[in-house]
Amino acid sequence: MYKANDQRYEEMKYNRCGRSGIKLPAISLGLWQNFGSVNVYENSRAMIHTAFDLGITHFDLANNYGPEPGSAESNFGQIFAQDLKSYRDELIISSKAGYLMWDGPYGEWGSRKNLIASCNQSLKRLGLDYVDIFYHHRPDPETPLEESMSALDHIVRSGKALYAGISNYPAARAKEAFRILRELGTPCLIHQLRYNMLARDYEPDGLFDLLEQENIGGIVFSPLAQGILSGKYLNGIPAGSRAAFSSPLQERYLNDAGLGKLRKLNKVAEARGQSLAQMAIAWILRQPSVASALIGASRPEQITEIVKCLNNTKFSAEELQIIDQVTSC
Ligand SMILES: NC(=O)c1ccc[n+]([C@@H]2O[C@H](COP(=O)([O-])OP(=O)(O)OC[C@H]3O[C@@H](n4cnc5c(N)ncnc54)[C@H](OP(=O)(O)O)[C@@H]3O)[C@@H](O)[C@H]2O)c1
């Protein structure tokens, strides 16, 4: 039987999420990959134990995580029932709706029908009465924003989620969403966005400035560019790694120019006494609006390695300049 590490709150850092009452661990664990029905259940379970033992109190899900879609929620529900039930009030569990989940016109995007039905499905799979955060997973170009946001407001008011969030919204649309939610009386807790040293689109978009102005917390997904920024690809593609199964990742990042960048970044990390993965996460956390870096993992040891980045999260102006130069060309 699992018993959590008594020292679990000693090393982790907790950051306030915007101006809310919630603090998030600087590192959170996402269950997008490696927690589905095709994966080894005991490995998924061991990753959850390792994370929680290190003070990672936040686990992020979505309706469609698997594969099979839905199976990451079912597996997490099983692990929760087996091991974590007595720790429910120490956990922040999130889910989302917006990407394709079921057949027909109501199985994706941002209608009230989709969001509320999906939240109900997620709660069943998770075996929970409520999730802590429920997100609209992506902006819907057709549904009025008022409808999607009022569905989030309803989900919170009906007790199915404690807080509302949005994900993948560029700054202009996020600003509108924040206004509508504020007016509805359910202020947005958090924005979940993709950001890493190789994907910096939200800087010119103005999203970080907006989050600071509105004092809303950010949580960054794919902070390692799906593992590309872990350093393990510097000498080839290891069998079983994520890029080994993904030609888009290989084509985009692992060509000669991409590997050249990774080598230069790795040198900066070495000079800081960190692995490239640790530096990549520390670099995310330098953004004042970012409360948490939301990592994925395929093995418990990866989580242990990442958490050690908290020993060195400060960057000199020179280090930041080199990283900017390397990543901007
Ligand atoms: N809102 C959205 O639209 C959205 C989209 C995507 C993700 N997310 C969320 O963000 C979470 C994280 O996304 P992500 O998985 O792309 O994050 P990531 O942290 O960029 O990549 C995770 C992958 O990197 C590798 N890795 C991690 N730590 C490592 C280490 N110490 N050494 C070597 N390799 C390491 C592992 O891949 P290997 O398999 O190669 O070992 C791992 O599965 C998801 O689970 C999900 O919760 C949200």
Q: What does the pLDDT look like over 199-242, one tens digit per residue?
A: 999 999 999 999 999 999 999 999 999 999 999 999 989 999 99
CA angle 154/156/158 to nearest 5° reads: 65
Q: How many whole angstroms separate alpha carbon 236 and alpha carbon 225?
A: 17
Radius of gyration of the chain (CA): 19
Q: How many whole angstroms separate alpha carbon 57 and alpha carbon 163?
A: 16
For the whole prediction, is pTM greater than 0.75? Answer: yes
Identify whether 203 is part of a domain.
Answer: yes
Identify whether 247 is part of a domain.
Answer: no
Identify whether 259 is part of a domain.
Answer: no
At 329 the pLDDT is 78
Which residues sit with their C-beta closer than 6 Å to ligand 1? Answer: 30-34, 60, 137, 167-168, 192, 221-227, 230, 232, 241-242, 277, 294-298, 302, 305-306
**From ligand 1's centre to the CA of 222, what distance in Å?**
5
Residue of 288, 289, 295, 287 lying closest to 229 (CA atoms): 295
Q: How many whole angstroms separate alpha carbon 280 and alpha carbon 323?
A: 10
**How confident is residue 152, by pLDDT bands cut at 50, 70 and 90?**
very high
27, 32, 47, 132: which to mutate for ligand 1, most atoms within 8 A of CB?
32
Identify whether 113 is part of a domain.
Answer: yes
| pLDDT tens per residue, range 11-45 | 999 999 999 999 999 999 999 999 999 999 999 99
At 88 the pLDDT is 98
**From ligand 1's centre to the CA of 227, what distance in Å?**
6
Q: How many whole angstroms separate alpha carbon 55 and alpha carbon 135?
A: 23
* 76: enclosing H helix or E strand: helix 71-79
At 292 the pLDDT is 98
Identify whether 133 is part of a domain.
Answer: yes
Identify whether 326 is part of a domain.
Answer: no
Express as a percent the part of the chain with pLDDT over 90.
Answer: 98
Q: Quick one: average pLDDT of 38-61?
A: 98
| pLDDT tens per residue, range 158-188 | 999 999 999 999 999 999 999 999 999 999 9
| pLDDT tens per residue, range 79-124 | 999 999 999 999 999 999 999 999 999 999 999 999 999 999 999 9
The residues facing 96 across adjacent strands are 135
Classify residue 185 as left (phi > 0), alpha (psi -120 to 50) or beta. Answer: left
Q: Which residue has the tokens 């939200």?
A: 202
Atom of ligand 1 nearest to the CA of 33: 45
Q: Quick one: average pLDDT of 322-326?
A: 97
b/e 86-104 (16+ beta carbons within 10 angstroms → b): eeeeeebbbbbbbbebeee
* Dihedral angle, C-alpha 21, 23, 29, 31, nearest 10 °: 0
What total number of domains does the chain contain? 1
Identify whether 245 is part of a domain.
Answer: no
Q: Which residue has the tokens 């902006």?
A: 139
Give the CATH number, domain containing residue 171.
3.20.20.100
Q: Which domain holds residue 38?
A: 14-228+275-311
The answer on pLDDT for 57 being more than 90 is yes
Identify whether 38 is part of a domain.
Answer: yes
| pLDDT tens per residue, range 295-308 | 999 999 999 999 99
At 197 the pLDDT is 97
